[in-house]
Structure 1
Amino acid sequence: MARYRVWRRIGWTLLAAAVVAGLVWVTFFSSLLALDPQQVRVSGQGTTVDVGQVRAAAKDEAGVPLPRIDTVGLREEILAMNAVKDVRITRAWPDGLDVVLTSREPVAAVPQPGDVYALMDAEGVRVGTAEDVPENLPSIVVPLSDAEPGRRALDAALEVLGALPPTLSADIRTVSAATQDDVRTTLSDGRVIRWGSGAQVPLKIRVAQTLLRAEPSATTIDVSSPGLPVTS
Structure 2
Amino acid sequence: MSTQTARRRPASAQRRRPSRRGPARHVVVRRRVVAVLVLLAVTAVVCAVWFTPLLGVRRVEVLGTTELTADQVRRAAAIEEGAPLVRLDVDAVVGRVRELSRVAGVRVERELPGTVRLTIDERTPVAVVKLPDGAHLVDATGRDYATLEQPPGGLPELQAEPAGTPAAVAVLTGLPEELRREVLLVTATTGSDVKLALTAGREVRWGSSADTPRKAAVLQVLMTRDGTVFDVSSPELPTVAGG
Relative to the length of structure 1, the TM-score reads: 0.82
CA distance in structure 1 between the partners assigned to 2:220 and 2:55 by the alignment: 55
Structure 2 alignment gaps of length 5 or more: 1-22
Tell me what 1:130 maps to: 148
Moved more, 130-139 or 71-80: 130-139
Q: How far 1:128 moved relative to its partner? A: 1.0
Report Cα offsets for 1:73-96 as digits up to 9, x if no partner.
111111222122222211122221
Shift of 1:115: 5.6
What aligned pairs does 1:47-66 form with structure 2 within 5 A after superposition? 47=67, 49-66=68-85
1:22 aligns with one of 21, 26, 44: 44
CA distance in 2, matches of 1:92, 1:228: 59
Residue 173 of structure 1 corresponds to which residue in structure 2?
184
> Which amino acid in structure 1 is aligned with residue 105 of structure 2?
D
Q: CA deviation at 1:107?
A: 1.4
What amino acid sits opposite 1:156 in the alignment? A
Structure with bigger RCO (C-alpha 8 Å, 6+ apart): 1
Counterpart of 2:5? Answer: none
The structure having more radius of gyration, on CA atoms, is 2
Q: Percent identity?
A: 34
Rounded to whole Å, the distance in 2 between the matches of 1:119 and 1:65 is 39
Residues matched between the structures, number: 219
Give 3-state SS (helix, strand or coil) of 2:40's partner: helix
From 212, 219, 237, the equivalent of 1:228 is: 237
The change in CA–CA distance for 1:83 and 1:115 in structure 2 (over 3 A counts) is closer
Code of the aligned partner of 1:6: V
Distance 1:28 1:115 in 2: 49
Structure 2: which amino acid aligns with 1:175? V
Using structure 2 for the length normalisation, give the TM-score.
0.79
The 8 Å contact of residues 61 and 69 in structure 1, kept in 2 or not, is answered as no
Give the stretch that moved more between structures: 26-35 or 63-72: 26-35
Counterpart of 1:189 in 2: which secondary structure? helix
Matching residue of 1:92: 111
- Greater CA deviation, 203-212 or 11-20? 203-212
Partner in structure 2 of residue 119 of structure 1 = 137
- Quote the Cα distance in structure 1 between the aligned partners of 2:42 and 2:58: 25
- Counterpart Cα distance in 1 of 2:238 and 2:70: 45
Tell me the distance in 1 between the aligned counterparts of 2:164 and 2:104: 23
Q: Which amino acid aligns with 2:164?
A: A
Could you tell me how far 1:198 is from its partner in structure 2? 1.8
Looking at structure 1, the residues matched to 217 and 165 of structure 2 have their Cα atoms a distance apart, in angstroms, of 22
